[in-house]
Amino acid sequence: MPARHDDLIRLDAALLALRRLTSAPPALPGLDQDGSPVEVSTMLVADAIARSAREDGCSINDVAQALTVAHSTASRLVDRAVRAGVVTRNRDADQRRRAVLRLTDGGRRLHAEAVAFRTGRLAAVTAEWSPTDVATLTELVERFAADAHPHLPTAGRTTP
């Protein structure tokens, strides 16, 4: 049975309202060479690389898939993250056309701080909720994310 139109309108409004919940933490220190604040896109690139959990690093294509953007867009975002000192980019020894991306120490620190910030906000928002309600919401959001982007691993199968 399809969802009611009114419910979809409410869901759309709720999702738009939540967009800022996972945005950049305002207090994270800038890592850019010029000391400017780190861009949200740089944090998303760091998150994509960290969540890939591959020992041999990941590729620009992996970042593009994780962020659901075109390869050229991912390449520009990775360039920005490299300039910010968050990511290293090296050529793959076996596949010269493939770039191998890894987080720097600063990138790992940025990722950890961003995850701590976001989970702290989630804990504050759900502080009055029962553990069962939080688990139910988590399962439903994971299901929604998996259905919206079936090619991506769900949050429950990745590591922060």
Nearest to 62 by CA among 155, 157, 151, 159: 151
List, in sequence order, the alpha helices (H) in the chain: 5-18, 40-52, 60-67, 71-83, 105-125, 131-148
What is the arithmetic mean of pLDDT over 39-64?
87
- The two tokens of residue 44 are 């998303």
User: Is 88 within 8 Å of 35 (Cβ atoms)?
Assistant: no
| pLDDT at res. 156 | 45
Q: How far is CA 106 from the centre of its chain?
A: 16
Over range 138-154, report the average pLDDT: 83
pLDDT score, position 3:
81
Q: Is the pLDDT of residue 62 over 60?
A: yes
Q: Is the pLDDT of residue 24 over 60?
A: no
The pLDDT of residue 13: 87
Q: What value does the mean pLDDT of the chain take?
A: 83
> According to the per-residue pLDDT averaged within each range, which of 12-16, 54-58, 86-90, 98-102 is highest?
86-90
Q: What is the pLDDT of residues 103-129, one digit of tens each?
A: 999 999 989 988 888 888 899 999 999
pLDDT interval class at 150 (50, 70, 90):
confident
- Mean pLDDT of all residues in 25-54: 73
SS3 2: coil
The beta-carbon contacts of 37-41 under 8 Å, at least 24 apart in sequence, are: 38/84, 38/86, 38/110, 39/80, 39/84, 41/77, 41/80, 41/81
User: Could you report the per-residue pLDDT of 81-99, keeping only the tens digit for each?
Assistant: 999 999 999 887 777 777 8
Of the candidates 89, 93, 94, the residue with the CA atom closest to the CA atom of residue 59? 89
Say if CB 78 and CB 87 are below 8 A apart.
Answer: yes
Angle of helix 105-125 relative to helix 40-52, nearest 10 degrees, comes to 100
Joined together, the tokens standing for residue 95 give 């596949």
Percent pLDDT > 90 in the chain is: 38
Bigger pLDDT: 72 or 92? 72
Token pair listed for 153? 């691993």
